[in-house]
Every structure is written in C-alpha cells, then in structure tokens.
C-alpha cells in the first residue's frame, strides 16, 4: 500500500449528517468563519485566521497537497446547510508501520452535538478498511476536554501524557495521546462504512 493508492483522488465519505469531501477555493468564507474564531483555534497548532488572506494561504496548502496526492484533510460539509463546518483527516501516514495520525477542527456552532465523533468514526473506518492501517492515533492538549471526549466516544483509548512534546504558539506543550488499533476496531459491534465514491 502506497500513499498515492489512496490519496491520488481523495474519495468522498458520508456520515448521517455530513459529507466529507475535498476542500475547494469557494469554501474560503466558510473556513474563515471558524478559522477566525479564537475559541476554535485555542487548542490547535495553527494560529487564528486574522484575515481572509490567512484562509486563502491555508486553502492553497491543502489544494497543493491534493495535487501532489499527499495526505490531506477532508472538508466537513453539513448536509442541512451545505456549508463547510470544519476539517478532519490524517495528518501523517507511516506506511511501513501501518499507522496514521488524525487531526480535526470544527466550527464552534457545532460543538457538543456529536458531529465530530460521527466524522472521526467514519475516518477511523476508512483508515482500517481502505488504508489497511493497524494503528490510528490522535492527541490533544490536556486542557482540551472536548477533544478528549471525541476520541473516547470514537472508540480510542488514552495511552498517556507526552510531556512537553511540541512547541506551539511560544510554549512547549504536553499532549494527551489516544489510539485505536485494528483489533479494537474489529471487536466493535458496529464498524462504520461511509464510502460514497
């Protein structure tokens, strides 16, 4: 399995309430809406979008990844409104060791409503079924209780604290590490299949 085998054309996925698809240049207004929210960016490695130009630069980086068939995120589209309400996907994929790292961001308008858990479950399923992963991991700042709950509800297990493991926004920060392995996934009662294309 090679990265290009999966990411040469990022497939569209579907959950009960969302469509996961490639981001497009016309999504910039939606992305700026949540990217410029300091509460959303408070726990992220990326800075708050101050201007639309910040959002355009972000979009350019993602679109470049798509064109290079590199690991890149899905845009999360709310089926009801058609708006992009966040992003999620794999930030890194170690093909040799069959493991990948998840990341995500969601508009504050959709917090505490189960949207991200729904999305993460679908992406986890994609990782094990399509990418043939053995391990999927994700992390969050210790203060980010919402993100920790998302990972737990998606079936991931807390593994421990990585002390001062990243330098972000001027500080060396700890991260809580979570993971799910393929055996855990296979033993779940209702694995998700959200592939559209």
CB 35 within 8 A of CB 41: yes
- The pLDDT tens digits for 115-166 are 999 999 999 999 999 999 999 999 999 999 999 999 999 999 999 999 999 9
Nearest CA to 182 out of 115, 97, 116 is that of 97
- The pLDDT tens digits for 18-56 are 999 999 999 999 999 999 999 998 888 889 999 999 999
Q: Is the pLDDT of residue 90 over 90?
A: yes
Domains and CATH numbers, the chain: 3-186 (3.40.630.30)
Q: Output phi, psi for 26, to 5 deg.
A: -75, -5
């Amino acid at each position: 399995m090679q990265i290009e085998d999966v990411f040469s054309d990022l497939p569209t996925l579907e959950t009960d309430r969302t469509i996961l698809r490639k981001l497009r240049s016309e999504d910039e207004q939606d992305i700026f809406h949540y990217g410029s929210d300091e509460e959303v960016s408070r726990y992220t490695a990326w800075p708050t979008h101050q201007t639309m130009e910040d959002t355009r630069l972000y979009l350019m980086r993602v679109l470049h990844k798509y064109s290079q068939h590199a690991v890149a995120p899905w845009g999360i589209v709310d089926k009801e409104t058609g708006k992009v309400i966040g992003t999620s996907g794999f930030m890194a994929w170690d093909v040799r060791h069959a493991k990948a790292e998840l990341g995500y961001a969601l508009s504050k308008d959709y917090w505490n409503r189960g949207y991200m858990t729904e999305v993460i479950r679908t992406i986890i399923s994609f990782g094990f079924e399509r990418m043939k992963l053995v391990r999927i991991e994700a992390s969050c700042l210790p203060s980010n209780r919402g993100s920790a709950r998302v990972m737990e509800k998606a079936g991931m297990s807390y593994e421990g604290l990585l002390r001062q493991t990243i330098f972000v926004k001027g500080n060396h920060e700890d991260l809580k590490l979570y993971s799910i392995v393929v055996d855990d996934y296979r033993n779940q009662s209702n694995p998700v299949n959200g592939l559209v294309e």
